[in-house]
Amino acid sequence: MLSRILSIPFIIGAGVFIFLTIYQDELWAPYIVPCILALIVLYFLEPQIDWWWYQKFPPELDERLRELMVKNHPYYQNLSLAEKQRFRSRMALYMEAQGFIPKGPEKLPEDVKGFIAANAVQITFGKTDFLFHPFERIVVYFQPFPSPQIQEHWHTSELYEEDGVFLFSAQEMIMGTTRHGDFYNIGLHEYGNAFTKLYNKHDFPAESELDWKILETISSLSLDHIKKTIGLPEIPIIPVSIHHFFVFPEKFKEKLPALYEKYTLIFNQDPINRTTPVLDRSIIENKK
């Protein structure tokens, strides 16, 4: 965006000096070189320049996607006006920064990108960094899929750490995101899983400290339901607990009060406070 605007005078300058060199005098030729060098520098710095610009002036979500969020995303629906604006800005920036790779249609619909981004933003809404670096590519199928890493099971989500890739089935991801609590949200699951990898210095519970039966009483989503939704025979329990913390906060706090308090500190969010869930705003404002 900004990098292209900055390149315009150098493109014009190079064109003018080339014209003068050809049709008037070769003495103009040396002036072509600085223009070309500037264009080369802008080309290689394009991602950094444009990202700086987007952070200063975040793009707004298109109207259709904003309407979908208002109608279908419970976390977003309950935020205050100021927090909704921040949520939308982070969504737009996330969509701009990530490499989406569709497996099916040549172009991925914006609503699919948007709902994926919304799950990422929800998990990191209390953090300064919300891009999940180095997980910078998102492969999107439109149905359950086998992958090179898991060929024996058709599944709906996966985090492939070695290549920094999220893999999602769009249908199940959108159902879990929009039908709040009725279906397991694979988006929150995988972003919760990635969060534990990126913030591994936090005091996450050991798997042995969690109980599937307690998680079932919190959500009414059985382990069998979660396995069928994801399509894998073994499911890590920590991302499931993170999913339930965000989706069923009242029941989570009732059944697992100590873990609830621990997660509020780890994520810097209290999901029960739906209008302003962020606890320590100095963290997201980068004042620490």
List, in order, residues 6 or more apart from 129 with CB less than 8 Å away: none
Asked if pLDDT for residue 288 goes beyond 50, the answer is no
Residue 3 CA neighbour count, 13 Å, CB half: 16
How far apart CA 254 and CA 248 sit, in angstroms, is: 10
Asked if pLDDT for residue 21 goes beyond 80, the answer is yes
Residue pLDDT, tens place only, 61-116: 888 899 999 999 999 999 999 999 999 999 999 998 888 999 977 788 899 999 99
pLDDT of the residue at 274: 94
Residue pLDDT, tens place only, 253-273: 999 999 999 999 999 999 999
pLDDT of the residue at 158: 96
- Max Cα–Cα distance, the chain, nearest Å: 84
How far apart CA 238 and CA 197 sit, in angstroms, is: 11
Give the mean pLDDT of 190-195. 96
User: Sign of the CA dihedral 132, 111, 242, 264?
Assistant: positive
Pick the residue with more confidence: 102 or 6? 102
To the nearest 10 degrees (0 to 180), the angle between helices 170-178 and 110-123 is 60
Looking at 23-37, 122-136, 208-222, 272-286, which range is the least confident one? 23-37
**CB-neighbour burial class of residue 162 (10 A; exposed 0-12, middle 13-18, buried 19+):** exposed
How far apart CA 288 and CA 284 sit, in angstroms, is: 9
| DSSP class of 107 | S
**CB-neighbour burial class of residue 153 (10 A; exposed 0-12, middle 13-18, buried 19+):** middle
pLDDT of the residue at 121: 96
Structure tokens at 222: 């059985």
Conformational region of residue 231, where left means phi above 0, alpha means psi within -120 to 50, and beta covers everything else: left
Give the mean pLDDT of 195-217. 91
Amino acid at 240: V
How far apart CA 262 and CA 267 sit, in angstroms, is: 9
How far apart CA 73 and CA 3 sit, in angstroms, is: 34
Residue pLDDT, tens place only, 33-68: 888 887 787 666 665 565 565 666 667 788 889 999
Q: Calculate the CA 151 to chain-centre distance.
A: 26
For 183, phi and psi rounded to 5 degrees? -125, 150
Percent with pLDDT over 70 in the chain = 91
Percent with pLDDT over 90 in the chain = 59
Residue pLDDT, tens place only, 126-162: 999 888 999 989 999 999 999 988 999 999 999 999 9
When pLDDT is cut at 50, 70 and 90, the band that residue 189 belongs to is very high
Radius of gyration over alpha carbons of the chain, in Å? 23
Give the mean pLDDT of 234-257. 96
Beta pairing class for 99-103 and 165-169: unpaired
CB 118 within 8 A of CB 70: no
pLDDT of the residue at 12: 84
